[in-house]
Amino acid sequence: MGKDKKGEEAVFLRKKITLLRAFSLLIGSMVGSGIFISPKGVLKNSGTVGFSLVVWFACGLLSMFGALCYAELGTRITKSGGHYIYILETLGPLPSFLFLWAEFFAIRPANSAVVSLAFGRYMLEPFFSPCAAPVPAVKLVSLLGYYMVLTLNSWSVTWSARLQTALSIVKLLALALIIVPGMMLLAQGHTENFQDAFDRQSLALDKLPLAFYAGMFAYSGWFQTGFVREELVRPERNIPLAVIVSVITVIVGYMLTNVSYYTVLGTQDVLASPAVAGGGFVQRAFKSLISVVPVLVALSCFGTMNGGIFTFSRTLFVASREGQWPPLFSMIHIRRHTPLPAVMLMFPLVTTMVCIGDIYHLMNFFSFSRWLFIGLATLGLIVHRRRHPELQSPFKVPLFVPVSFTVICLFTVAMSFYSDPVNISIGCTMVLSGFPVYYLIIHRQMSSRCRSPFYYLTHKLQLLLEVVQQEIKTY
């Protein structure tokens, strides 16, 4: 719908994401539940303190490679949608739909459930310490937090972006409160927890893919600017700048945080704690802040939930616009200018996974699909370069960067079948189940260009939700 004779505003997603907001979105998405729950998974599957720190640095370096690849893709492909649109534009509609299928039914709800559960656990920590919070209470608080973020993203793009900026500061403060006491103890000569840091007898090579999954989960979020590409101010400049600065910031912060964990707690306490930055760490580091740090960590998780909903709703929005998802989800609220139907779609699946799921099983379950398709997206960058040599991208990385990143991603995915065959097989089955759906419904509908079988239901929901198709806007 365009402007009528009364001069009403056109309905489209505005360019409201500046460089600062892009940086905040990346920091807010990366620094979340991962750094507070993944250290246990990395240490458990790498074997020793030294090897776990190597894994953390390697995951940071790998994330930088991936972020650079996505920065180039974001300057080559001008549509929002992240992984989905990159795979669609480079490898075609079938791989992109399989990603969309896995993302909707496995990756995103499981990831959101993990972050929500971490939020609930840390939010209740001050009230039940030194005991663990009851599981039903954790799940209830987790769902309440998630529903608050859903409501905010349905209400206003501007306010959700402002919240992300504020919570990014909270996240860095939470990391600082963990890093400082550890560095102080280290400066005083407390290095006993780093003895035999590289004991090879404890190294379990077959479990390393799971250690990388846990580490990469903590770094995940470096790709978020690609989801909101059409809403970025000066994307050709701000995407590369935001990803480079944010990933370097997070690598330094994560390395110092893990050194602090090991200095204060030691390996046995890290392995015994489901929430590493919780009561045990705070009691040893500074008792006066025993209630403050868990709340700051919970707010950090809240920011990650906000960033995840903010970006994933854009994936569904773009997929609907490309004809691979019901048209209702490409519509915008007539007054709020938010993709309301796409935001609300995750409500039932995340609720289910929070109610029945466990953090570490959920993490392995969705990591297979996520890194498979991220590897395919960077493979798509190589393909796109070869097909379009005439295209002059304002930002270009050396060829070895996407080649190295793609090979490592696909190798890790293949090795994970040996490390955790049950959860990985479930994830693989989820991806493969998209094949019949694509050929029976999506491919046939796109080929015949027939009206969607859900046309009348879509029309009724459109009236109920007060949403309309986005107007095509040239910037």
Sorted by sequence, the CB contacts under 8 Å of residue 408 that are 6+ apart come out as 62
Q: How far is CA 314 from CA 330, 339, 344, in A?
A: 9, 7, 12
pLDDT score of 13: 53
Tens-digit pLDDT profile for residues 228-238: 787 788 888 88
Give the pLDDT band (50/70/90) at residue 254.
Answer: very high
Please state, in angstroms and rounded to a whole number, the distance separating the CA atoms of residues 362 and 354.
Answer: 10
Condensed to tens digits (0 to 9), the pLDDT of residues 39-53 reads 888 888 888 888 889
- How far apart are alpha carbons 343 and 357 in whole angstroms? 22
Q: Three-state SS for 351?
A: helix
Alpha carbon distance 87, 392 (integer Å) = 20
> What CA–CA distances, in Å, run from 16 to 19, 29, 157?
10, 18, 8
- DSSP type of residue 17: B
pTM, two decimals, is: 0.79
Using one digit for the tens of pLDDT, what is the confidence trace for 52-99?
899 999 999 999 999 999 999 988 888 888 889 999 999 999 999 999
Structure confidence at residue 87 (pLDDT): 94
Distance of alpha carbon 240 from alpha carbon 252, whole angstroms: 19
